[in-house]
Amino acid sequence: MSKFSGLGARLHSGETSVEYIGKRRRWYAVSGLLIIASIAALALQGLHLGIEFKGGSSYTVTKVGASIAQAESALASAGITGEKIIQQVGNDKIRVQTGSLSTQESNAVQDSLASAFGVSVDSIDTQIIGPSWGKEITRKALYGLVGFLIVVILYLAMAFEPKMAIAAIVAVVHDVFITVGIYALVGFDVTPATVIGFLTILGYSLYDTVVVFDRVRENTRSITSTSKMTYSQAANLAINQTVVRSVNTTIVALLPVGSILFVGAGLLGAGTLKDLSLALFIGLATGAYSSIFIATPLLAAMREREPAMQALAKRVNARGGSPALATIGVSATENNGEKRGPRNQPKRKGRK
C-alpha cells in the first residue's frame, strides 16, 4: 500500500512520469475504433427516439401485479400492430407507448387496456403528443446544443487560447458521439432527459479538460525563454500532475450515477431514471478519458507545429533536455526534496 500512497506526489513532482503525449497515436486508435463502432451502431440500428421527439401516444396503467403480457394482449385486441413500446415501471405500473393514433384507435386502446387490467378508463393516464410538437422539441434541443458549443468556444478562446478551444471542442464532440453510439447499440429511448444528460456531460467534460489546460498554461508560460523542455514534455508533465485528481473526481461522480443506473433503473424499475443516468454514466467516463488522452495530446500536436515551438524543440534536444523536471522554473535540487541555501562564495584576499 505504501508503494501507491505517494504516487500522486511523485507524479506531481516529476519523479514518476507516465508518457501520454508520446503515445497519442495509440489513444487516437482506441478512440477511432470506438467512433467506428458508434457509426456502425447508428447505421444499423439508429436511435430510438421517444414519443416526445417523433410524436405518439402513451398510456400508463396502475395495477398491482400488472404484466407486460397483458398489455401486449390488450394492444392486439385493439388492432394495434405497428410500433409499440411496453415497459414495466416498478411493481404496479405498465407504460404503453405507440405511434400516432387516430381518436378512434386511441379510444379502442384505452378500452382494451381497461378491460385487460380490470380498471376504469378514467384511471388510465393518457398522453397524446403530435409530431409537430416533437419537431419543436428537437429543434430547441439542437439550438441549445449549438448555442452551448458557441459560448464554450468563445470563452475558451478568450480565457486560454484558440487552439485550446479547438482541442476542447474536439474532445466534447468525441464524448457525445461515443455516447450516442452506445445509446444506439443498447436501444435505449432518446428522451428530453437524455438531452439533459448530454448537456450535463458536455459541461463535465469541459470542466475536466479546463483543469488540465490550466496546468498546461502554467507549465508553458515562459517555456521558450527557459528552454528546459519542449511543449509536448511540459504538456505531458501537466497531465501527470492532474491525472490523480481527474481519476478521483471521476470515480466519486460515477458512484452515485452508477447507483441510479443499476439500482434505480435496473433493480427498482424506475424507467424515468434510465435515460438520464445512462447518458451521465457514459459521458463521465468518456469525458475523463478524452481530457487526458485526446484533448491535451491534440493541443500539443497543434502547438508543436508552430515555428517557435519547433525551434524550442531543437534547442532542448541539443542540450539533452529531460522531461522529468517537476515544474517550469523549479531547480533540480528542490525536485529531489532538498532545500539548499545560497552558496558561500570564497572570500577574496585583499590586495597587498
| Listed ranges 88-97, 212-221, 263-272; the one with the highest mean pLDDT | 212-221
Strands (E), 55-165: 56-62, 84-89, 93-98, 125-129
Span 112-138, average pLDDT = 81
Q: What's the DSSP call for residue 341?
A: -
In 3-state terms the chain splits into helix, strand, coil percentages (rounded to 5) of: 65, 10, 25
Q: Cβ contacts of residue 56 below 8 Å, gap of 6+? A: 97, 98, 99, 100, 101, 128, 129
Please give the share of the chain, as a percent, with pLDDT higher than 70: 82
Mean pLDDT of the chain: 79
Q: How confident is the model at residue 264 (pLDDT cuts 50, 70, 90)?
A: low
- Report which of residues 323 and 122 the model is more confident about: 122
State the Cα–Cα distance between residues 219 and 92, nearest whole angstrom: 59
Question: 245: which 3 cell numbers?
Answer: 485528481
pLDDT at position 36: 93
Per CATH, domain 56-129 is 3.30.70.3400: yes
Q: How many CB atoms lie within 10 A of CB 297?
A: 24
State the Cα–Cα distance between residues 237 and 145, nearest whole angstrom: 33
3-state secondary structure of 202: helix
Give the N- to C-terminal CA distance of the chain in Å, as an integer.
66
Q: In what order do the strands lie in the sheet with 125-129?
A: 84-89, 93-98, 56-62, 125-129
Q: Which residue in 279, 265, 288 sits closest to 198, CA to CA?
A: 279
Q: How confident is the model at residue 335 (pLDDT cuts 50, 70, 90)?
A: very low
Judging by beta carbons within 10 Å of its beta carbon (0-12, 13-18, 19+), is residue 79 exposed, middle or buried?
exposed
Q: How confident is the model at residue 160 (pLDDT cuts 50, 70, 90)?
A: confident
State the Cα–Cα distance between residues 292 and 167, nearest whole angstrom: 11
Q: How confident is the model at residue 201 (pLDDT cuts 50, 70, 90)?
A: confident
Domain ranges of the chain: 7-49+133-310, 56-129
Which pLDDT tens digit goes with each residue over 46-100?
887 777 777 788 888 888 877 888 888 888 888 887 777 787 776 778 888 887 7
CB 296 within 8 A of CB 239: yes
Q: How confident is the model at residue 137 (pLDDT cuts 50, 70, 90)?
A: confident
| Listed ranges 26-30, 58-62, 275-279; the one with the highest mean pLDDT | 26-30
Helices and strands, counts by H and E, the chain: 15, 6
Span 240-253, average pLDDT = 87
Domains 7-49+133-310 and 56-129 equal at CATH topology level:
no
CB 124 within 8 A of CB 59: yes
CATH architecture of 7-49+133-310: Up-down Bundle (1.20)
Q: Is the pLDDT of residue 310 over 80?
A: yes
Report DSSP letters for 194-220, one per residue: HHHHHHHHHHHHHHHHHHHHHHHHHHT
Span 247-264, average pLDDT = 83
Q: How many CB atoms lie within 10 A of CB 272?
A: 14
